[in-house]
Chains A and B, each alone.
Chain A
Amino acid sequence: MLVVEQLSVQVGQTLVCREFDLNLGAGEHWGMLGGNGVGKTTLLHTLAGLRQPLGGRIMLDDKDLQDYRRQRLARKIGVLFQHSQDTFPATVMETVLTGRFPYQSFWPGRGRTDLTLADAALAQLHLASLRERQVDTLSGGERRRLAIATLLLQEPELWLLDEPTNHLDYHYQIQVLDLLSQRVRDRNGSLLMVLHDVNLISRYCTHAILMPGEGKLLCGEVAAVINRTNLENLYRHPIRALSDDGRNYYFPA
């Protein structure tokens, strides 16, 4: 689905990746791990076509990202940003409906189908009762779920998520990740998410990208790349592993 060839990305003086190749197939779930400031978000934005790479190219369905019209691209790639911004008052419903922007033409406006989709997404994220609330009165977790509901309305094929579990409690972390991976599977799409929780990545992802810094990237199937040694190198911190039900769980020592 997404093919990355010889990609080099730099932000300021930080080299994020050099001549990096990646093939993101349909149905695959990728997790991205790395310390603070190694450029996870920058790489994610580059893959979404929101940033020019230093070199190399990114192909989506055999077509260069640069050759897509913005609106067309927005139907294919959806991004969940780390933070959401709001300057002007807007209601939850107004905000969630912006997710339909890629599908709307100029005049017919927000039709009934859009409203039905929006209500369904709000209900799935337990926001239905907040429909008419002003966004700036929501809690951090509620805002996060609102951003996810907006992304559900966008219905992309490739889902790029920047720390989707931020501000969410345990219950919602699992609920949201279940919901998102179900959606990705339903659409036969793929998913790439930045997470700081190794255990969530091994629970939800098929593949992982480890970013130890200085432009080095370690990619592969979760079983192959996520282990104690790699994680200790990644975080430069001793890691302990526990086993339960045949699964390994990692936490900082």
Chain B
Amino acid sequence: MALVNINLHSTPRSRIILLFGALIAAAALTGLLALASGSVPVPLREVLGIMVESAPGVNAQIVLELRLPRVISGFAVGGMLALAGVLMQILLRNPLAEPYILGVSGGASVFALLAISIGLAGIWLTLGACFGALLTMFMVFVCSGSSAGWNPLRVLLTGVVIAAGWGAVISFLLAVSPAARLHNMLFWLMGDLSFSQSGGWYYLLLLLALLPAMYYARALNVLAGGDLQAAALGVSVNRVRVITYFLASILTATAVIQAGSIGFIGLIVPHGMRLLIGADNRLLMPASVLAGGILLVFADMLARALLAPRQLPVGVLTALIGVPVFLLLLRSAGARQRS
């Protein structure tokens, strides 16, 4: 019954149930569609059959071994990016904030590209990206900390400057790398799920991040009204900030390691969900995780199917889908408010 009382005021209960129902249904449907489509189309009915009883055959192999891991990791990555986006926007108190704004993806990219440029692949790529992401996380944390506590603007500026630095290194690496490796590097930069391995651990990580995020959701609601106001209302502002920073950074780092830098999800999904369900983070965060997952799986499906057998970078498609959808939402929300 506890759920019933949540946010009774601004978003009616029926709307909450409807929205989450729709998101879950959309997630299942998108997953199935993504399993069915690609360079070798598999009929939906057959996909369902394969999922229920793992029959042998080429199609079963394609669905279970090639597409399923990709759908699974795509959903997790999308969810992580969207959640990281929500957290970053509150942390930096800036509606333009997104997961990559503090340079975590830049740092990861530099070391992943280094790995690619010297011909390494697989686990080395992951390790490189991981190192770069962690390095950036600590650099920003150390450089932006001060005795006066954590100032969002200072963190933002530090992060943006470090991100710009990484950007320059990336350009340098691209300029000096042999042409044969450029294609791989560019794909990595644009965000691509084909590198990602299947594995349950990032769902575990997503869950492990979502739990504390939900725990602090009410505090984050209050924090949106300003640090002093939040402190006066009983929030331990610095603790909540540091925890939020590390949650958002770890989520971003994991997503980047899985799939390179996939743009727009972390910016657009949180705002879109805010328009649909309101600003209460207890609803916004789970809704964003679902919507981010759906958007990325859908975009990845199109990336594989549109020009099959060629694959497009999924980051291009998240933007191509995300931008018009977001503009529509913004328009309809504006119309609702005027009426």
Contacts and interface: CB of A to CB of B under 8 A. Distances in A.
- Say whether A associates with B: yes
Interface in A64-121: 70-75, 77-79, 81, 84-91, 93-95, 97-99, 101-102, 104, 106-112, 115, 118
A134 interface: yes
B229 A94 contact: no
A152 interface: no
B89 interface: yes
B234 A98 contact: no
Interface stretch (B62-70, B72-80, B276-284): B276-284
A79 B225 CA distance: 13
B103 to A, nearest CB: 22
Max count, chain B CB within 10 A of own CB: residue among A75, A88, A99, A115: A88
A123 interface: no
B224 A73 contact: no
Contact of A109 (B5, B225, B234): B5
Contact of B229 (A81, A90, A104, A112): A81
Contacts of B234: 70-75, 101-102
Contacts of A109: 2-3, 5-7, 282
Contacts of A50: 228, 231-232
A94 B226 contact: no
Interface string B224-261: 11101101111110000000000000000000000000
A109 B9 CA distance: 11
B2 A88 contact: no
Interface in A12-68: 45, 48, 50
B201 interface: no
Contacts of B93: 87
B224 A88 contact: yes
B280 to A, nearest CB: 7
A154 interface: yes
A109 B7 CA distance: 8
B95 A87 contact: yes
Contact of B231 (A70, A137, A154): A70
B311 interface: no
Interface stretch (B29-37, B154-162, B214-222, B312-320): B214-222
Contacts of A77: 232
A70 B282 CA distance: 21
Given A90-B224, A98-B225, A134-B337, A108 B232 contact: no
B226 A93 contact: no
B280 A94 contact: yes
A239 B5 CA distance: 56
A9 B228 CA distance: 18
B94 interface: yes
B7 A88 contact: no
Given A85-B225, A85-B226, A88-B274, A93 B10 contact: yes
B8 interface: yes
B94 to A, nearest CB: 7
Contacts of A45: 228
Contacts of A71: 234
B102 to A, nearest CB: 17
A99 B274 contact: no
A232 interface: no
Interface in B190-220: 215, 218-219
B216 to A, nearest CB: 10
Interface in B98-147: none
Interface string A231-252: 0000000000000000000000
Given A86-B224, A108-B2, 5 more contacts: A48-B232, A98-B225, A101-B222, A118-B9, A131-B9
Interface of B: 2-3, 5-10, 89-90, 93-95, 215, 218-219, 221-222, 224-226, 228-229, 231-236, 274, 278-280, 282, 337
30 contacts: A45-B228, A77-B232, A78-B232, A79-B228, A79-B232, A81-B232, A84-B229, A85-B225, A86-B225, A87-B224, A88-B95, A88-B274, A89-B279, A94-B9, A95-B225, A97-B9, A98-B221, A98-B233, A99-B233, A101-B233, A102-B234, A106-B215, A109-B2, A109-B6, A110-B5, A112-B5, A115-B9, A132-B10, A134-B337, A154-B233
